[in-house]
A = this chain, B = another copy of it.
Amino acid sequence: MNKLVIPLAVLLIGCSQNQKSYVPKEITSAIPTKHIVIDSLNHPWSIAFLSNEEALVSEKDGNLLHIDLNSKERRVIKGFPTDLTDSIRAIHFGDNSGIFEVLIDPDFKGNKWVYVSYAAKKAGVGSTTKVIRAKLQNDSLYQHETLLVAEPFTREYFHYGGGMTFGADGTLYITIGERLFWERDEPEIPIAQDVSDKRGKIYRINLDGSIPENNPDFGPNAVPGLYAMGIRAAQGIIVEPKTGNIWFSEHGTIQGDELNVLKAGANYGWPNVTSGKLRSQDYTPPKLEDVTFTSPVWFWHHTVAPTGLAFYTGDEFPGWKNNLIVPGLSRGSLWRFRVEDEVIKSVEELFIDDRVRIRKVRQSPDGKLYILTDEDNGKLIQIKAQ
C-alpha cells in the first residue's frame, strides 16, 4: 500500500541501456511497521545498546536485563543496589517503582561504566530518584558510585523523572520530577520553584558526579548541579545530534504535555505557568518576583504523556532524517517532529490504528529504530520500513 515508484529515468541516469535489468524496479516509500523482537518484559523503561545485537533493558517492575536480540537469551544483571524499591504493581497509571534510565558510558569498552537511575527506598521514610554508576562485568555491577539522590524520600509513587542523557559537552543531564500529584499539596514556594529543593529540576553533572564549573548560577541556596527548574514530570531527555541542543518531554496534568529545549538557568514555569490546567481547581500558585519563564517549543491539545524520546539518524526512513521521535503512554502515541534549530516545522502522529503505551524510543548503533511498550507483557519492537 502507498508504494511509490521513483521514475526509472531517475535511477537510470548514467546507466547504459543493457544494464537496466540490474536497477531495482521500485523504491518503496518508507511506511513504518512494527516487528516484535522481545516480549515478556515487566514494564520496560529504557534500553541501552552494548552492540547492535546486545542491549541492557531496565524494567519498571523488575530487573536490569542483559538481552541478546538474536538468540533472545536474557540474563538478570546482578549486584544491583539493595535500596532498589520493591516492585509495585501500579494502582494508578502514574505509579512507578524500579529501574528507569540506563546509559552506557561513551567509553564503555575501556571503562565499563554504566549509569542507572532508579527508585531508591529508605526504610520507614519512602522513596526517591537515585542515580548511580557502576562497572558492568560478567553481568554484574561493581564499584558503585552514587551520583545523585533527589531527596527528600517521600511516600509518593510518581513523577520520579529519571531521564538521563550524555550532553555533547561530555556531561550527564538528569531529570527529576516534583513527586506531587495534586498542586494543592505544594508548599508555600512550590517545589519546582524552590532552588533549595532537589525535586522538579534538571541537573548537569560530570560523569563522576562532580559539578561542572560552568553550570548556571542559581544563587547560594541552590542545590548542587542545578541546571534548569520549574519541571513537573520529565522522563524523556535527548541530545539533537545536528545541533547539540537538548530536548526534553514533560507531562502536564489536564493537557499540558510539552516539548522543551533545555537552556542553562531556565525556569520552565511549573506550576505557575502551564499549557494545560492545574488538577487542583482550588489552588493558585503564589506570585513570584523577578522570574522569567521559558515557554515550551510544543504542547499538545490532548493528553499524550510523552516519555523517552530520540532523534532518528538511521537510513531506513529517509524522510525522517534528524527528526525527533516522541512516544507517549497515553493513547499509544508515537509522534515524529521535523525540527529546524528550535522551531517545529511539521508533526506526524504514527500508528493511529495500532496504538500501544510506549515508554521509550531508542536507536541502535546501526540506526535501527526500537520502541519499548509499557505493558505487563512489555515488548521491544523494531520499527521497520515496509
Contact = CB atoms under 8 A, between A and B. Distances in A.
Interface of A: 1-4, 6-7, 10-11, 13-16, 19-24, 27, 29-31, 301-302, 315, 318-319, 321-323, 336, 338, 340, 343-353
Nearest to A300: B301
Given A13-B24, A19-B14, A29 B352 contact: no
Contact of A352 (B15, B346, B352): B346
A199 to B, nearest CB: 31
A348 B351 contact: no
29 contacts: A2-B338, A2-B340, A3-B321, A4-B318, A6-B318, A10-B24, A11-B13, A13-B23, A13-B24, A14-B22, A15-B16, A15-B19, A16-B16, A16-B19, A29-B319, A30-B319, A301-B301, A301-B302, A336-B348, A344-B352, A345-B351, A345-B353, A346-B348, A346-B349, A346-B351, A347-B348, A347-B352, A348-B348, A348-B349
Contacts of A2: 321-323, 338, 340
A36 to B, nearest CB: 19
Nearest to A346: B350
Contacts of A24: 10, 13
Nearest to A344: B352
Q: Which of A11, A19, A27, A353 has the most CB of B within 10 A?
A: A11
- Top 3 A-B pairs ranked by shortest CB distance? A14-B22, A348-B348, A14-B19
Majority secondary structure of chain A interface residues (helix, strand, loop or mixed): loop
A318 B352 contact: no
A320 to B, nearest CB: 8
A159 to B, nearest CB: 24
Given A10-B24, A16-B19, A30-B319, A344 B353 contact: yes
Contacts of A7: 315
A343 B348 contact: no
A6 to B, nearest CB: 6
A7 B353 CA distance: 32
Contacts of A15: 14-16, 19
Contacts of A343: 353
Contacts of A338: 2, 31
A8 to B, nearest CB: 11
Contacts of A19: 14-16
A262 B10 CA distance: 38
Contacts of A336: 348
A349 B318 CA distance: 19
Nearest to A28: B318
Nearest to A350: B346
Given A29-B318, A29-B319, A346-B348, 10 more contacts: A4-B319, A7-B315, A14-B20, A15-B16, A30-B319, A301-B301, A345-B351, A346-B349, A346-B352, A348-B349
Contact of A4 (B6, B321, B346, B352): B321
A14 B10 contact: no
